[in-house]
Structure 1
Amino acid sequence: MPTLPAPLGYVICETPDLEENYQKIAIYMLNDQPTHVARQLLNGKWTSKLGQDEDIEHDTLEGLTGERYGQVAQVMKRKVGSRVGKST
């Protein structure tokens, strides 16, 4: 599985479990190509944008795995409120 670059201050983490003070994303890949990113909500559920207008919530990351999006290749996290290039 390829290692993906750390976007916008995210670092690789080991689990998709909810962690206080962290925002997590999950990157799906199919045929070694990124296909989708899901973001964890404060309640531990995940949100995904499917098409232009469809935002969905899902309890687990496995709900989107399959022929369209592939598998979760990497889960990443960043501290809540941290952003690259954010001025202080």
Structure 2
Amino acid sequence: MSSIKLELTWPNLRKTGYEITSQPTPAYNCIAWAAGVTDRPWWPIDQKPYYWPLEPRIKSLQSFIKAFEQLGYEICSNSDLEPNLEKVAIYVDEDGEPTHMARQLTTGQWTSKCGDWEDISHTLEGLAGEFYGEVSIFMKRPLANQLES
């Protein structure tokens, strides 16, 4: 995907800045990327190739929170970069349903997989808007579980 398509889908990216950090691939999606997985997409549907770490498979904010709690995350109050912690952010639409996740890098920037498109580094505001909605929840876990970015 080109920068033009990214910026048309997420107009805030042009204003807030971003960097493409991978080639496009359908091998994983944003939820898997936030979890540190690059060999299969995660989504709470019972359809191959999608994986979900818990049952029942429900597309709800609570289900996403529980899935990441199984990875050692807990809810936190903000996106501030904190020593020895890594964070994820869950975006939701106007109905409160999850649409996207991002993972914080050690630089304080965020990284996302944009569907089947590229991974990018960005600000949280860069992906906010009509397509993904707004960040609703932040979660954190000890840096000992830090994933390669």
Please indicate the TM-score interval, normalised by the length of the shorter structure: 0.7 to 0.9
- Report the counterpart of residue 66 of structure 2 in structure 1: 5
Unpaired segments ≥5 residues, structure 1: 84-88
Q: 1:6, 1:14 → 2: CA distance?
A: 18
How many residues in Structure 1 have an aligned counterpart in Structure 2?
Answer: 81
- Report the counterpart of residue 97 of structure 2 in structure 1: 33
Identity of aligned residues (%): 54
- 1:72 and 2:135 are equivalent in the alignment: yes
Check conservation: 1:26, 1:76, Cα contact below 8 A.
yes
Which of the pair is proportionally richer in helix?
Answer: 2
> Highest relative contact order (Cα 8 Å, sep 6+), 1 or 2?
1
Q: 2:67, 2:137 → 1: CA distance?
A: 10
Deviation at 1:82, TM superposition (A): 3.8
Residue by residue over 1:9-40, the C-alpha shift from the partner in whole angstroms, topping out at 9 and shown as x without a partner, is 11111110100110100000012211100000
TM-score (norm 1): 0.82
Which of the pair is proportionally richer in strand?
Answer: 1
TM-score (norm 2): 0.50
Unpaired segments ≥5 residues, structure 2: 1-60
- Report the counterpart of residue 48 of structure 1 in structure 2: 112
Q: 1:52, 1:6 → 2: CA distance?
A: 22
Check conservation: 1:11, 1:77, Cα contact below 8 A.
yes
Check conservation: 1:6, 1:12, Cα contact below 8 A.
no
> RMSD value over aligned CA atoms?
1.8
- Based on CA coordinates, which of the two structures has the bigger radius of gyration? 2
